[in-house]
Amino acid sequence: MQPIKTIQIPLTPIEKRAPVKVYLLRPRGTLYWGGAGLDGDYVRPQIEAFRRAGIAHCFAGITNSATIDLPKDYEFLGTLIDAIRSGLTIRSRDDGEWTITSGMAAEATQFNLIGYSYGSLLAAQTAWSYARAGHVIDHLVLVGSPIEAGFLGDLRGHKGIRKTTVINLTEHGDPIYAGMPWAELALAAPLLGKQMISDKGEGHFYYAHVVPDSLRRWAALAQRVAAEGLR
């Protein structure tokens, strides 16, 4: 019987091996998140206004951590929960994974995220998550956003987010503005409640209430956003 020969194969230390490239599908298109509840009557017309302004591949934004599904008779509770989340949790940076679950368009030339009110926080968290994963966000647009100042600074400082645009609605009487401290946001709650139930398109709800002037307002917002370079 021949003796068994042992062959030793030299192994390359892990730190000396060539890195393995992992190719991820690059997200494309423009996603728009509306305010608390994410289903107001203004969402679809606003998306159509964005498209008419030249932001062709625009869709309603949905993430894996957006809102809570409730029976129709209790949908107002979902809106209330979203509003509470805006003030207490997601206005600050979350390093968890926020994944877009709505449609995107491979033929689009940009990857843009737009959010209004509560939706601005979803857009911000989604942008932060995708940028940290190595993707490039061409434009992040925050409208009427209660975002915390430190988180806003992080977004503006990340190289993966090419441009962050803030559109405050203070000129329309909105007590909310991007970067405001929590105490000031809490004090604004009574006025926000009055503006919400008035249903007149005042203050923070300038774009959210359907009023006789809404078509012009939605078109003006779309044109302003398009002027920032979104396509």
E strands present in the chain: 29-33, 58-60, 111-116, 139-143, 164-167
- The pair of structure tokens assigned to 184 is 């000031």
Q: Which two tokens stand for residue 26?
A: 């690059």
**Residue 89: predicted pLDDT:** 74
Tell me the CA end-to-end span of the chain in Å, nearest whole number: 76
For the chain, domain boundaries? 27-227
Q: φ and ψ at 179, to 5 degrees?
A: 90, 0
Going residue by residue through the chain (231 aa), what tens digit of pLDDT does each one get? 444 444 443 444 444 445 444 334 689 999 999 998 878 999 999 999 999 999 999 999 986 654 445 455 544 444 555 555 555 679 999 999 999 987 789 999 999 999 999 999 999 999 999 999 999 999 999 999 999 999 999 999 999 999 999 999 999 999 999 999 999 999 999 999 999 999 999 999 999 999 999 999 999 999 999 999 999
C-alpha angle 156-160-164 in degrees, rounded to nearest 5: 35
- What pLDDT, on the 0 to 100 scale, is given for residue 82? 54
